[in-house]
């Protein structure tokens, strides 16, 4: 299995060939570009997992290549390690300001470069498993935490959703909706810090769905605090008139006025005592069902 795809952007044939041979021997797929424009074109056709980028190139400098990559949504996430003969502090700072992930100066130790490549790729993999809006773990990071529960008997899960979030977004727009998601993530963190434990896990499943994994005897104190904090502060996301009247006024296409409740948390809980569970799918189904039924309302 390939360790990943590396794009080496280097006009010195001896250096680029050495890196190609070395990293291929380490199990990586390696592509080489001698010019900045060639590198950008190659990224358009096949995204590398990481780019080792020389600053001194014949057509454009590495800073310009980095700037182009970071300004393109499709390539903005690719880790970049600058490779250069320059050892000026200002050059390093400039590269990092443009969004480079690391910097190594020629002559370099190829083993050190290997470690920097591996670490940068590991960080990128981890970061891609976090929700971009809230910064909370998502995807496989949540699954990993759930799998660990199968070896424990003291766990509890709090499945959190935001009732009224869709309607709020329709009225106030998606930017305001993202603010609400970040606000909710902040509330979850504050409450877990207050009444949970340092080992509790908070994840963002997606949309307006969140998850907290804690000890089963802490479930109800956490739920109580969540509701209290959210209800007391969610009004700041509405306009003054809506806050005063306590509901959201909407009009349909025909001009008819309807009322919608302000956002509240919809919470379901499941603990190890609700089992036995044979896999994480059964746990998530039970948690989602509990939320729908409002067992912890």
> How is residue 137 annotated by DSSP?
B
Q: Rounded to two decimals, what is the model's pTM? A: 0.65
Domain positions in the chain: 5-127, 140-293
Residues 163 and 264: beta-carbon distance below 8 Å: yes
Give how far Cα 277 sits from Cα of 149, 166, 269, Å.
10, 32, 15
Quick check: helix, strand or coil at residue 122?
helix
The CATH code that applies to domain 140-293 is 3.30.70.270
Got the DSSP string for 247-258? EEEEE-TT--EE
Q: How many CB atoms lie within 10 A of CB 6?
A: 23
Residues 227 and 268: beta-carbon distance below 8 Å: no
Q: How many CB atoms lie within 10 A of CB 173?
A: 11
Is 3.40.50.800 the CATH number for 5-127? no
113-130 pLDDT, tens digit each = 999 999 988 888 777 777
Mean of pLDDT values over 206-224: 95
Q: In whole numbers, what is the pLDDT of the chain averaged over residues? A: 88
275-296 pLDDT, tens digit each = 889 888 899 899 888 888 864 4
In angstroms, rounded to a whole number, what is the distance separating the alpha carbons of residues 190 and 42? 45
Quick check: helix, strand or coil at residue 271?
strand
Mean of pLDDT values over 141-155: 87
């Amino acid at each position: 299995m390939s360790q990943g795809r590396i794009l080496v952007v280097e006009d010195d044939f001896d250096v680029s060939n050495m890196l190609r041979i070395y990293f291929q021997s380490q199990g990586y797929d390696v592509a080489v570009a001698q010019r900045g424009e060639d590198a950008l074109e190659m990224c358009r056709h096949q995204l590398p997992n990481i780019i080792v980028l020389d600053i001194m190139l014949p057509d454009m400098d590495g800073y310009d290549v980095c700037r182009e990559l970071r300004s393109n949504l499709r390539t903005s996430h690719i880790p970049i390690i600058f490779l250069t003969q320059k050892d000026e502090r200002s050059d390093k700072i400039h590269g990092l300001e443009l969004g480079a992930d690391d910097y190594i100066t020629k002559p370099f130790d190829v083993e050190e470069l290997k470690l920097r490549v591996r670490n940068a790729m590991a960080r990128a993999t981890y970061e891609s498993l976090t929700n971009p809006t809230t910064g909370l773990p998502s995807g496989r990071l949540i699954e990993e935490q759930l799998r660990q529960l199968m070896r424990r008997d003291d766990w509890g899960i709090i499945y959190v959703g935001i009732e009224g979030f869709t309607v709020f977004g329709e009225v106030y727009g998606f930017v305001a909706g993202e603010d609400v998601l970040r606000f909710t993530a902040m509330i979850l963190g504050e409450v877990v810090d207050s009444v949970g434990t340092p080992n509790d896990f908070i994840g963002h499943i997606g949309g307006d769905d969140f998850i907290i994994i804690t000890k089963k005897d802490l479930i109800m104190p956490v739920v109580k605090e969540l509701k209290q904090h959210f209800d007391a502060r969610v009004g700041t996301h509405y306009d003054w008139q809506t806050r005063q009247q306590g509901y959201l006024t909407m009009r349909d296409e025909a001009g008819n006025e309807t009322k919608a409740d302000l956002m509240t948390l919809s919470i379901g809980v499941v603990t190890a005592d609700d089992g036995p569970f044979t896999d994480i799918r059964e746990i998530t189904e039970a948690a989602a069902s509990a939320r729908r039924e409002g067992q912890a309302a």
